[in-house]
Amino acid sequence: MKTLIRYDATYFLKTPRWLVFVGLAVFLASLSIVTARYLDVLIEYALRAEGVENIDFPPPSVHDAYEQFFSNMTQLYTLVVVFVAAAFFTKDFTRQYLAFVFVKPISRLQ
């Protein structure tokens, strides 16, 4: 099992896929700063369209933007890890290596 995980991790780091994942996660998380900045305006606009006009929202702070950014970063990286692990599992399943994972240690170099 350790051999499979080590092989999959080194294969993933040798290809440029990890750059795409990191770049996409940083880009999407940086959009959350813009969302945190204008969220009060969007909510007031939506409530005004529904006829609710008595609720005032305080302006966002820098702390709100950082909190939103780090929250989205952790969510995105969790999804990336899940998708990469699913891809490795699918690849191992199609090559029929999974029968040997819990039975005996294997090496893909042979």
Polymer length of the chain: 110
pLDDT (average), residues 65-91: 80
The domains of the chain are located at 2-101
Please name the residues in contact with 56: beta carbons below 8 A apart, sequence gap of 6 or more.
44
> What does the alpha-carbon distance between residue 70 and residue 89 come to, in Å, rounded to a whole number?
28
Q: What one-letter code names the amino acid at 87?
A: A
Where are the strands (E) in 1-110, listed by range?
Answer: none
pLDDT of residue 109: 61
* 5-23: pLDDT as tens digits: 777 778 777 878 778 877 8
How far is the CA of 66 from the CAs of 27, 38, 76, 100, in angstroms? 14, 14, 15, 45
pLDDT (average), residues 80-93: 78
Count the neighbouring beta carbons within 10 Å of the beta carbon of residue 68: 20
